[in-house]
Structures are given as C-alpha cells and as structure tokens.
Amino acid sequence: MSRRNYPSAFMHPFSHIPTLEEEGPVIVDRGEGVYIYDDRGRKYLEGNSGLWNVVLGFDNKKLIETAQRAYAKLPAYHAFFGRVGQAALDLSERVVKLAPMEANRVFYANSGSEANDTVVKLLWFLAEQEGKPHRRLLLSRKNAYHGMTVITASLTGKDYVKSASGLPVKEVRHLTCPHHWREALPKESETDFSQRLALELEQTIRNTGPDYIAGFFAEPVMGAGGVIPPPEGYFQAIQPVLKKYGIPLIADEVICGFGRTGEFWGSQTYGMKPDIVVASKVITAGFFPMGAIILSPEMTERIDKASAKYEELPTGFTTGAHPVGCAIAMAALDEIEGGAFANVKARSPEFQKQLRAMADHPMVGEARGVGLMGALEMVADKKTKAPFAGNLDVSERVSRQALKNGLICRPLGASIVLAPPFIITDAQISELFGILRKTLDEVYRDIAKKAA
C-alpha cells in the first residue's frame, strides 16, 4: 500500500491511476493568491487556475466575505414556482447587459455540463413544440469539450472520452477541428482553411438536410482540446452558412467568458454573434458551482411561446440560481470589472511573449494562445510535427516534473496547457515560464539519455 493510502474510498475523476498508485494524491490544503499549498506545506504556482476557473485567487477575501454574508442571510433556496432570491434577479440583469449579443434572459444550472445539456434539451423542446420533432442533430467539432453528461460527452469531440463509453449518441456529428497547424493542407493559408471548413459545414448540412439540425456548438477557443484559437476568418466563414440555413450558434464560453481571451467574451475576440451563450467556471471564480445559459430575444420568445402550452418552463434544477452562488457571482463580476479584467488585458502581451519564446525548445512544435491562455504542443520532430510515441506520456511527464518543480500545468493530449489566474503579475509570469523551461530541459535530457 502506498504511503498515501491508495486506493481510498474516493473515486478520482480524470486522474492517472498508475501515478496515484505510485505516489498517492496531492492533498490540496490551502491557497493564497495564484499559489496553492499541499498538506506538507509545498507551494505550487497554479498555472491552470484550478480548472480554468479560480481566476481571482485562492483566497479572495471579497468573495469569501460575500459568501459568509449570503450564508448568514439565506443559505439556501430554490427558484421553482416563481420564487427567487434578489441576487438571482440582479445577476441576470447584469449578465444580459454584459452579454456579447443582444440578450434578455438567463437560466441557471450547476455546471458547464448541465448548462450545455439544458441547451440541447431546450433546442429539442423547441423542435417538438414547433412541429419539427426530427430537428435533433447537433453539430460539434473534433477535439471540442462541452461536458461529461451523456449528451455533452457526446458533443465533446475527444476520442478517448467517446470510445470509453460507446458515445456519441446518434444525434451528434463532429466536424474537422479548426487547428490550422495540424489540420491544414500543405501551404493552405488560415483563411483558405477556414473557407474549406465552412464548405464542409455546408456540405454536412445539405447532406443531412437543414431541417434536421438543431444547433451548432462551438467554444470560441477550444480549451480542453489543447487551447486552439480559431484560424483567421473561421467564424466569419462559418456564421453565414449557419444563418443561411437557420441553425442556431451556441457559443460555449465556459472557459473564455468574462475575460480569459483579453476581451470580455471569446465571442468578441473572434466576431461571433451567438444565439445562445453558455457560461460557467469564471462566473463565480470557482467559488460556487454554477452554469448559466444566456438567450437572445429571439430564443427567449420562442421558448416562452413553447412553454405557454405547459404554463411553465418544463425544466429546472434544485440548486440552480442558488442565493449564495448568485451573490458570489455578483461579487466576482465586481472584482472582474473592477480590475481583474484590466489585468488580463495588461498582462496578456507579456504572457504571450514568454509563451511563444518557448517555441525555440527542441520538444515544442507549436506555441499558441490568446489572452491569458496558451499551449505548448510537444513533438518528437519539429519538421514533420511527428508526435512522440505514446505522446500523452511526454506531456504527462512534463506535468509531473513541473509539479516537483512547484508548477501546476496540465497535459492535454500532446500539449501542455496554461491558463493562470487573472490576477497574475509579470513577475509570476516569469516565474511560471522559468519553471516550465527548466522542466522541459529536464524531461528532454531524460528522454535523450534513455534513447542513447
């Protein structure tokens, strides 16, 4: 048995079992600013903001005090049957004003998965009520991440997630991943690649019949797929096709929303005009589970009309629009609008400069990113872009070695991804990349030694 008593009664989500068996879990004890500490007092720079969400630091006093006050006043209530806390009303007014498109309604779930899942349900609800029960197909992209419920794991375009449980469900189609560096034809420009993907979309729509398609889901920047910003002109090419066939665009802003890309929304960074926006993670800075669906007036009107028959919206979650969660979200937005977003804008050039400087490392094939998010894709051969054999291993090794060196960075496929808290300083950015370079050197030396 390991010194950390593994296996334990706790079932670890998305955790590498051999590592757990060998080393046991990292028991996270407390946090301070952009750092977390384990139960042995070891300090780590959190290069991923937890899971992209803890953007205001791990000890944000304003959020903690807000939560304490909200718990003291009304620690719990639901939002069914016309009952609701004031914070949910205030938050909704604020969110529709902030939205990247004209918007007038917000529905609350408890996670990104639940929010995306509910979007599908609402689209299918509309299909049924508008006399088009066959309008059920959902378009997504390979490498997308939209969640882990049955439907949202189906929308998620990662092969191992799909094959592990025999997904996707029959209603989902995955289009080409818009990753120019990996997927473009030789000498194909970014805009030509975007045009080709728009053509693929149009052909897919025509082949299946536009009347059968309920919606197109897209993250502005693919996050868990390995931080893949869209190629130039991508959404400009895709959106007219969706418009032409009357297919709603759902912007999954679970990672990008509220500042990550250096604009308030990824939709603004890339010129998206979505019909529905899904937010989560950053909306409470990770301090409370929340997912939010933001609707355009047209979507609202259609859903209202469809609901009229039932005299109520036929969906909802026990803890959706939780009074403490909504109060925390208001405080998080105060913090973001009051300075954290400005810091993302101010720090992004330095972060991107240091990220791209890593491209000179012999193991780094591509350094890519936008705002305060980025990825380094590991290759065995920079010219051919050939991945390392069993490529997950190399990024996994980099991440494990980084942990030993005091940095948390996540392996995703062949890439190492970074998304530090919005409050990071330039000195901490230098610390992050200093540790990462030392780590890459160590792993590279180790691989070279083994190959010799």
> What Rg, from alpha-carbon coordinates, does the chain have?
22
Q: Determine phi and psi for 382, rounding to 5 degrees.
A: -65, -30
In whole angstroms, the minimum distance from the beta carbon of 410 to ligand PMP comes to: 11
Token pair belonging to 217: 């889901």
252 in contact with ligand PMP (CB under 6 A): yes
**DSSP strand pairing (172-175 vs 213-218):** unpaired
Burial classification of residue 194, based on how many CB atoms lie within 10 Å of its CB (0-12 exposed, 13-18 middle, 19 or more buried): buried
Q: Determine the angle formed by the axes of helices 86-98 and 323-335, rounding to 10 degrees.
A: 40
Residue nearest to ligand PMP (CB): 112
In whole angstroms, the minimum distance from the beta carbon of 154 to ligand PMP comes to: 13
Number of residues that bind ligand PMP (CB under 6 A): 15
Report the residue from 58, 124, 145, 193 that binds ligand PMP according to the rule CB under 6 A.
145
Residue span 33-52 as binding mask against ligand PMP, x where in contact by CB under 6 A, dash where not: ------------------x-
In whole angstroms, the minimum distance from the beta carbon of 144 to ligand PMP comes to: 8
111 in contact with ligand PMP (CB under 6 A): yes
Asked if residues 197 and 240 have their Cβ atoms less than 8 Å apart, the reply is no
254 in contact with ligand PMP (CB under 6 A): yes
- Give 249's contacts (C-beta < 8 A, 6+ positions apart): 215, 216, 218, 239, 242, 272, 273, 274, 275, 276
Residue 107: strand pairing partners: 293
Nearer to ligand PMP, 177 or 443 (CB): 177
In whole angstroms, the minimum distance from the beta carbon of 415 to ligand PMP comes to: 15
261 in contact with ligand PMP (CB under 6 A): no
272 in contact with ligand PMP (CB under 6 A): no
Distance CA 360, CA 380 (A): 14
Identify which range of 36-44, 76-84, 248-256, 376-384 contacts ligand PMP by CB under 6 A.
248-256
CA–CA distances in Å: residue 3 to residues 36, 42, 67: 22, 17, 36
146 in contact with ligand PMP (CB under 6 A): yes
Report the residue from 175, 255, 331, 414 that binds ligand PMP according to the rule CB under 6 A.
255
Q: Which residues bind ligand PMP (CB under 6 A)?
A: 51, 111-113, 116, 145-147, 219, 223-224, 252, 254-255, 280
